[in-house]
Amino acid sequence: MTNVDATGWRPTPGELDRYGREIPDGDYGTKDFERILAFKRRTEAVAKHLTEYLKKTDRFAKTIIFCVDQDHAEEMRMALNNLNTDLVRDHPNYVCRITAEEGKVGRGHLSDFMELEKTTPTLVTTSKLLSTGVDVQTCKNIVIFRVVGSMTEFKQIIGRGTRIRDDYGKLYFTILDYIGSATTHFADPDFDGQPAIITEEEMDEDGNTVEDTEEVVQPEEELAEEELPQGEPPTLDLNDAEKQPRKFFYDGGAVVIAASLVYELGADGVQLRIVKLTEYTAEKVRDMYSSAAALRSKWSNAEERAAIIKALEDRGITFEQLAEATKKPDADPFDLLCNIAFNVPLRTRRERAEMVRKNRLDFFDQYSPEARDILCEILDKYIEHGVAQLADLNILKIPPLSNHGTVIEIAAKFGGPDQMRSALIEMQNLLYAA
C-alpha cells in the first residue's frame, strides 16, 4: 500500500495539474486515483516496487498488471519501461500495453504473450481486456492496481494465473495487490462460491484428454473494455471544454510504499493467513530438513547447495529478502537458515572465513605460498559477496585473482584443474564443518 492510499491526498491551495488547471480541493483516496486524479508518482512508486519484486524472483515471469483504464495502463507501461531499460534494450517488447486502443498491434502482443515458447512480452499492462477469455498458461504474477468490486470479475482476474504447467516450471502464481481488493474478496464468504468458468472434457481409459472434447458449459461474464479517449493527452485549448482530458493529471509530490503484508494460502486451500517471512522460511526449511546437521550435510556441496537455493526460491524465498528482513546482511545464507529454522547461533561470513584461516592451517600448508594466497583471496571474495563466489571460477578472471595469471595458469599452481577444484571443494567443506 502506498502512503497516499493509506492516508489520502489533498492538494494545496492553487495546486495545478500538468495542463495548468487548478486541481479542485478535496480529500482524494484510492477510489479517486486514475478516475478523477491521475497521480503519476503513485504509479511510479508501484512500478518500482513491482520491479524490485521481479528482480528478487524472476524478471521473465509473465505478469499481468490490471490498471484503472487505458491511459493508466499506458502510464504504468512507461514507468515499468523506464525502470527496466537494461532488458528493454535487448527486448523492445519486454513491457507492453494491451487494451482495446491497440487494435491489431495489441492482438499481436496478446498472441505472443500467450505463446508458451515466447518470453516477451513479459510484463503486460491492461484494464479489463485481459480479465476474461485469455489463457496465459505460464502467467506467474497477477498485479491488481485498480479497485475490483465484483466477485465475478475478481475470480476472472485471478483465473488468469491458475493454469498449471509443470513442464514450464509453472506450479503456482502470486497476486500482488496494491489496492486491497484481493484481501477483501478472499475474506468474503462467497469467495468459494460458483467459479467464473466451468469446462467439461472427455478422457480415455488412460486418463488422457480426448482431443477436441473440451466444452465451456458456463461461459464467463464478458466485461467490456472502457471506450474512453486514451493515449497521450492532446495539446489543450483550455477554452474548449470538449478537448480537455476527463481527469486531472498530477505529476508532483512524493509517493512511497508505506506498508507491505504477505499472505500465504492455508493448509485448507482457502483461508489466507498473514505470515512473517522469517516464520514462513522456518516452516519451509523444517519441512525439507529435520535438523541443522541434516541441512549442513547437503549445503557444503556446491550442487546440493544450488538445489536447496532453487527449492527455496520456488517457495518464494530469496536470501536478499531474508537478509533484509533479519537486518543481517553479513550473515552466511546457511547461518540465516539455521538461525531462523533451528535457533542455531548466527555467524557472519567473516567469522566463518577466519575460523578456517586460523584453525585449519594444515589445509593451507598442502599448497605453495602463491596457491595459499589465491585461496585466501577467494575467501575474501566470499566475505564480501557471499557463498556464490566459492563455486564460480569466473572470479579467477577478476582482480586481485587475475593478477596471478590466466585460469589455466592459476590451476597449474595447484597441480592442475582437478587439484584446484578439489582444493575449493575441501575449503567449502571446512567453512561449513561447524
Is the pTM higher than 0.85? Answer: no
- At position 47, the amino acid (one-letter code) is A
Answer whether residue 330 is part of any domain.
Answer: yes
Check which CATH number belongs to the domain holding 105 and give it: 3.40.50.300
Could you tell me if residue 262 is inside a domain? Answer: no
Quote the pLDDT of residue 131.
56
Q: Are 332 and 199 within one domain?
A: no
Residue 381 belongs to some domain of the structure = yes
297 and 157 co-located in one domain: no
CA–CA separation, 332 and 307 (whole Å): 17
One domain, residues 323 and 355: no
Amino acid of residue 136? V
| Whether the Cβ atoms of residue 344 and residue 331 lie closer than 8 Å to each other | no
Residue 172 and residue 311 in one domain: no
Q: Sort 260 into a burial class: Cβ within 10 Å, 0-12 / 13-18 / 19+.
A: exposed
Q: Is residue 129 part of a domain?
A: yes
Same domain, 15 and 81: yes
How far is it, in rounded angstroms, from Cα 150 to Cα 145?
15
CA distance 340 to 281: 7
Q: Domain check: are 316 and 358 in the same one?
A: no
Task: Give which of 261, 215, 255 is closest to 79, Cα–Cα.
Answer: 255
Please report whether residue 266 resides in a domain. no
Q: What torsion do the CA atoms of 164, 110, 101, 145 make, to the nearest 10 degrees?
A: 30
* Whole-number pLDDT of residue 75: 94
How many angstroms separate the Cα of 423 from the Cα of each of 57, 190, 391, 426, 428? 32, 61, 11, 5, 9
pLDDT of residue 128: 75
Instruction: Kindly state whether residues 207 and 131 are assigned to the same domain.
Output: yes
- State the sign of the Cα–Cα–Cα–Cα dihedral 248, 253, 259, 264: positive
* Boundary residue ending a domain (342, 372, 397): 342
Residues 142 and 223 in one domain: yes
Q: Measured in whole angstroms, how far is the alpha carbon of residue 375 from the centre of its chain?
A: 35
Task: Note whether residue 124 is domain-resident.
Answer: yes
Residue 359 and residue 333 in one domain? no
Q: In the chain, how many domains are there?
A: 3
pLDDT tens-digit profile of 63-91? 999 999 988 999 999 999 999 999 999 99
Q: What own/partner pairs with CB < 8 Å and gap ≥ 24 does 90-96 have?
A: 91/119, 91/120, 91/122, 93/120, 93/121, 94/120, 94/121, 94/122, 94/123, 95/121, 95/122, 95/123, 95/124, 95/125, 96/121, 96/123, 96/124, 96/125
Centre a 10 Å sphere on the Cβ of residue 151 and count the other Cβ atoms it contains. 16
pLDDT at residue number 391: 73
The verdict on residue 270 lying in a domain is no
| Cα atoms found within 13 Å of the Cα of residue 50, Cβ hemisphere only | 35
Question: Along the 434 residues of the chain, how does pLDDT read in single tens digits?
Answer: 888 888 899 999 999 999 999 999 999 999 999 999 999 999 999 999 999 889 888 899 999 999 999 889 999 999 999 999 999 999 999 999 988 777 778 788 888 888 888 998 999 998 876 655 677 888 999 999 998 888 888 888 888 888 888 888 888 888 888 988 877 777 777 666 555 556 666 666 666 666 776 666 554 444 444 433 333 333 334 344 445 557 899 998 888 877 677 777 766 665 676 677 788 888 889 999 999 999 988 887 878 888 898 888 877 788 887 888 888 888 888 999 999 999 988 888 999 999 999 999 999 999 999 999 999 999 999 898 887 777 778 889 989 999 999 999 999 999 999 999 999 989 988 988 87
**Is residue 10 in some structural domain?**
yes
What residues contact residue 181 under an 8 Å CB cut-off, 6+ apart? 144, 146, 147, 148, 149, 154
* DSSP state at residue 333: H
Label residue 310 exposed, middle or buried (CB < 10 Å: 0-12, 13-18, 19+). exposed
Q: Which residues contact 166 (CB under 8 A, 6 or more apart)?
A: none
Q: Are residues 8 and 147 in the same domain?
A: yes
Could you say which of 250, 265, 284 is where a domain stops?
250
Domain residues for the domain of 377 are 349-431
- Do 321 and 411 lie in one domain? The reply is no
Residue range 175-234, pLDDT digits in tens? 888 988 877 777 777 666 555 556 666 666 666 666 776 666 554 444 444 433 333 333
Predicted pLDDT of residue 372: 94
Of 342, 377, 395, the residue that ends a domain is 342
CA 348 – CA 366 distance, rounded (Å)? 27
Q: How far is CA 158 from CA 163, 312, 425, in A?
A: 10, 24, 46
| 55 shares a domain with 35 | yes
